[in-house]
Structure 1
């Protein structure tokens, strides 16, 4: 196991203030300034884009974006397989230059708690002052106040697309925020946003699309990491970054169905690597705690925490438009996995997100192209990728049937639910309904070893 330190410096003159590596710690430093006072790794481009849209974030929010860049670098460029004792849990330290060290230092306990929960690693977060030349980076706001009523994360997935439709149909003017990831995701985001612009041409909504990535050999002699458990920290941070530029108290919406948000392990093997926590209620509660500590007048909400994906589809404020655009959205966890079969980028049809998606679309004609179009075409071997996912759902459904009421216990497995005890019954209910939704899809689907 190797402990890692990731830290940025502001230009060549700032090198002397870098934190020294501890004994046994591998240090990686990077210049976050591209040229003059323009920040690199997509942050400066995001500032320029926001300025053109009359959105001027706060300096504290810029600090948050820089912190998220550190977290994203550590999470995606340090391999779990080689840099941890158990092939999962890494020891990661980040030292971030910020505008207000005192305020950020008070946020360390909640930051470390939320990151440890999100990624399953052991994080140490520290702060130091920005150089005096970079005390003020964000352009000064002009007199024009942007028209946006809230901020909403826009991933290109079905849930975020439904969230966008519901807001636009409800008379709101959202400012969407996207993180440009792999090409397939980026393509879906563009197509969905363009479709919304065409459908709701009279509403002056807009979006920030940020490309923030680090080269694969960012940490010398260490491989990259594909699990990306920490990506939602970057996603949420970019949303808050934009939200502070609305010049009013704002809500950052993270649309996600309740089954995925809870992400109860389908079987015992999924508690670690295969159980993401990107919109878990505990994680969202920690975000709201962090914003309060930092004095940022915003709140993070998941408006669909108590709805299944199928219920989101059924209740969508413009179902005809949704039905037409369903194939444009992207839900698959690995949309390029069919390349070895000579297939293009498309939904596999059998990963966990794909199965939940297919189940949710039973009330409308699903024109999505799936690599596995017919789940009943054969008996699936549970030792294969396709069969494993299906059998895990079957196991979870069988557990519900054999032990009525067990959902009230199972919802606590992914993480604490102590922030809102009054919601426990609804959380258990949405978990059960969500599984039953997938159960209807899998009726008649067979699994057995070959």
Structure 2
């Protein structure tokens, strides 16, 4: 087991002595500012795009983005298998320079609770004043504001975020789409989907803020990197808040996510860990909203699809013909590049695997909405042969089948299952709705899996 401390620096002049709370920690310093006092690692990219539109976020929103970048560095570059005693729960300490350390320190317990829930680790967060030489990290625009968005919407390049953008545009909203990426596959789908939206809704000016936020594999001297990425939505939310704060006027951040994935009830005991993410869980989103309120940032998160399945989202899309035509160009898969080293060159191209949990939910949704699915999947026909549950090809299929079987035998378990991923204390009057979307989402996948055979080979 290895305890890690990430010390954030703001340029070469930031040489303030920082003493970690533990003497046995493995300490890493990361400079989040380049030589021109511009935030690095993709944050400056987002700020530059906002500035080009005549928009400037507050320094508090910038500090939130820097904190999120530090979280991302730790989450993606500290190995669970090598550095956690139980091969899952890491111990991580962050020390971040901010403009108002007293305010941030007062919110440290809330931040710790939020991150612990989100990633399943043990976090400690500490704040210190920025050095005087830094001043403001968000440069003042040199032009008048040219953007008039009415809402900010997360835009991952997946099917849900594409539906969310279509619905907003069709309703007369002017969304600013916010994306972050690290790999070229994600970037490609985000760019394509944004461009076809702009063409389809040519009468509305759609702004798309994109930031490539990530860290070199050697930024922390460890034996391996981490691919569970449980903390990614903290960064996603922070970038969206950066844009919303720059727009002002209590701008809402739309988080388009279907209710089944948002709850993400583990299908089996193994999924309580790496495979059961909490990126849009209601408890996590409520804590993030609480953090925004405490920071004085006048924006909030809102998931308009919290009580809809993915199939219901697709079927009710405001422009179903457009969605049906372009759905194949969205990316939902959790591992589209899983065959990049395949001996057969024809199998190396990134595409949906067709058998992971996001792919199965996607396939079920398209079947529900319009039946014919022209998305290219590696496993094109789930019924063509018996899927081996000892291999990845059949593991998630079997997990769904077992959960559906347990639910059929004991339907009342659903009202208990929905609490397994985390508390639903912020919405006590919506428990029946959470139960309903959970059951409906599983049944949707169940219809996809009728006739599919999966067993150990």
1:399 aligns with 2:400: no
Deviation at 1:140? 3.2
Q: TM-score, normalised by structure 2?
A: 0.96
Q: Answer whether contact 1:282 1:416 (CA < 8 A) is retained.
A: yes
SS of the equivalent of 2:145 reads coil
Deviation at 1:381? 1.9
| CA distance in structure 2 between the partners assigned to 1:300 and 1:329 by the alignment | 23
Residue number in structure 1 paired with 2:415: 408
Range with bigger deviation, 399-408 or 132-141? 132-141
| CA distance in structure 1 between the partners assigned to 2:73 and 2:376 by the alignment | 34
Residue number in structure 1 paired with 2:214: 213
| CA distance in structure 1 between the partners assigned to 2:54 and 2:13 by the alignment | 32
Deviation at 1:325? 0.3
Q: Answer whether contact 2:185 2:350 (CA < 8 A) is retained.
A: yes
| CA distance in structure 2 between the partners assigned to 1:17 and 1:9 by the alignment | 11
Q: Deviations over 1:115-149 (max 9, x none)?
A: 00010000000100001122322223665373110
SS of the equivalent of 2:46 reads helix
Residue number in structure 2 paired with 1:301: 302
Deviation at 1:293? 0.5
Deviation at 1:8? 1.6
Q: TM-score, normalised by structure 1?
A: 0.98
After TM superposition, list the pairs within 5 Å mapping 1:8-407 onto structure 2. Answer: 8-20=8-20, 22-140=22-140, 144=145, 146-339=147-340, 340=342, 341-342=344-345, 343=347, 344-362=349-367, 363-364=369-370, 365-407=372-414
1:426 aligns with 2:400: no
Q: Deviations over 1:202-236 (max 9, x none)?
A: 10120110011111011114321111111111011
Q: Answer whether contact 1:338 1:371 (CA < 8 A) is retained.
A: no
Gapped regions of structure 1 (runs ≥ 5): none
SS of the equivalent of 2:163 reads helix
| CA distance in structure 1 between the partners assigned to 2:446 and 2:170 by the alignment | 31
| CA distance in structure 2 between the partners assigned to 1:104 and 1:174 by the alignment | 30
Deviation at 1:46? 1.6
Range with bigger deviation, 145-154 or 89-98? 145-154
SS of the equivalent of 1:17 reads coil
Deviation at 1:351? 0.4
Range with bigger deviation, 209-218 or 142-151? 142-151
| CA distance in structure 2 between the partners assigned to 1:379 and 1:20 by the alignment | 54
| CA distance in structure 2 between the partners assigned to 1:13 and 1:68 by the alignment | 22
